Amino acid sequence: MTKAPHPDSEEALEEAARLVFEQLGWTTSNCFNEAVGANNSTLGRKSKDEVVLVSKLLPSLQRLNPSLPDEALQLAIEEITNSRNSLSLVNANQEIYQLLKSGVKVRYRDDNNAETVETVKIIDWNNASNNDFFLASQFWITGETYTRRADLIGFVNGIPLVFIELKAHHQKLVNAYRNNLRDYKESIPQLFWYNALIILSNGSKSKISSLTAEYSHFSEWKKINSEGEEGVISLDTMIRGTCDPDKLLDYIENFAIFNNSGGTTSKIIAKNHQLLGVNNAIEAVSQISHNQGKLGIFWHTQGSGKSYSMVFFAQKILRKLLGNWTFIIITDRDDLDSQIYKNFAYSGAVTEPETDVRADSAEHLKQLLQEDHRYIFTLIQKFRVEKGTTYPKLSDRSNIIVMADEAHRSQYDTFALNMRNALPNAAFIGFTGTPLISGEEKTKEVFGDYVSIYNFKQSVEDGATVPLFYENRIPELQLTNEDINGDMEQIVEAAMLDEEAEKKLERQCARQYQLIVRDDRLEKIASDLVTHLTQKSKKVSGIAIPSKIAAKP
């Protein structure tokens, strides 16, 4: 008689996870004693270095591509299972990801000996029930030198997309990353060519991220859905929130980005708050006629990945909602405009020949708005108008979505009417890192109410943002006019300056920088910081610290 595993053991956690997968509609199997070889193979594997289950992939392709001959399907299988040892792990993963999303193009000769090119669908992204979901536990894989046994691997149509590493509840979760995941990526890299998401769990704590993420970038999954439903334990919430077949396909298809900034490629997958928030915003787009183009305000606190959420939002609309959509991304500062444009470009959203889509002047903006572009990036100030005139209508299109970053700022009140006049049938969504405050009702008039909220407290609790501790200090410089930005805008508008004159004015105003960084002010700040930190250190450690420390600016 087999002895039952201890309830706090890794084996018990694995069994509990397997039961949740079964409840979600997956078939499961313990593969510890899997027969591998040419004859009587349990899963059809000829050797343990194979990580794609062709025995499940082929019937899935036949089901999804009923009009294509077996020759075409076999060519697709060859393309998917080809060795990618010459590529880096992330580049191999990116290559296969595109095949899964877009299908595999194959070239073959039909019955009339005519050359034919077809696209073989690998996964039905729109109907989860058309796919095969299989969970293998204790799955053996052999690399070039070593053989490893993975705790849980989730296969979709025979392709290993989900990797789960488990630890007993008393073990530190970071050990699953340091001792296991790192080793697996080196020992059996072929498994991760296909991987879509990685889950680490000890039952009470579970984290998720991609194959390129450092442990600090793994995050918890606290809500199964937008209603805030939670599972019995964290692993239960994680599995139900990410591996339910419909949720998993949505996550894999629409919430992964390969970012090529800094000369390296990293794979970024959405965190819990990003996926739920973006899907709320997508729902608002689907109700665009009902809400009259007011898609809402997307408030996710600073540092929680708001810029990537904007990419996820736009990319999912382009892939899943019919229409020739155009996105106008609006900011109010050059540095923000540059940052957001780079996020879209490095993520592959903006590609050739659509690279010259940043408005460099008011006239250039008008030109872009009258053309057909996927994306347009501009400063809100470029919606300027001569005094006493009305901004002209530039497009009647109803498939334009204006994405305004930091939508709460007063500048958006000033130029909102100009945007409306230029794009009377456009829809508007505001992205912001801070909540609206009293007196910003006009922002809601333009964008509507909150569509997603992820505040600072939630971010700190999730570990997405470090805690902020504030202690008041009297500044050496301060503004006495709280409405100085608005007043300056009115003055500039009234002066009817051209762009060259405005830039000159900006340079003149920038001389405030010289006041802020003058030596005597910096010396006082440095001295104050040293005094504060040494006093804090004395309180915390009780170690004697010299009372006089020279403060350098």
The tens digit of pLDDT for each residue in 418-436 reads 888 899 999 999 898 877 6
CATH class assigned to 270-462? alpha beta
Q: Which band of pLDDT confidence, cut at 50, 70 and 90, is reported for residue 328?
A: very high
Tokens of 246: 């419909």
Pinpoint the residues of the chain covered by CATH 3.40.50.300: 270-462
Cα dihedral 527→533→539→545 (10° resolution)? -60
- Amino acid in position 347: S
Q: What is the pLDDT of residues 247-303, one digit of tens each?
A: 999 999 999 999 998 889 999 999 999 999 999 999 999 999 888 889 998 988 888
Q: Which band of pLDDT confidence, cut at 50, 70 and 90, is reported for residue 35?
A: very high
Other CB atoms within 10 A of residue 485 CB: 15
CA 384 vs. chain centroid, Å, equals 33
- Higher-confidence residue of 49 and 531: namely 49
Q: Where are the alpha helices (DSSP H) in 423-518?
A: 441-447, 456-462, 484-495, 499-509, 512-516
Burial class for 482, CB neighbours closer than 10 Å (0-12, 13-18, 19+): exposed
Each residue of 274-288: b (16+ CB within 10 Å) or e?
A: bbbbbbbbbebbeeb
Return the pLDDT at 261. 87
Q: What is the pLDDT of residues 356-365, one digit of tens each?
A: 899 999 999 9
Q: Which band of pLDDT confidence, cut at 50, 70 and 90, is reported for residue 384?
A: confident
The position carrying tokens 């799955």 is 139
The whole-number average pLDDT for the span 219-233 is 82
Q: What is the pLDDT of residues 176-206, one digit of tens each?
A: 999 999 999 999 999 999 999 999 999 989 9
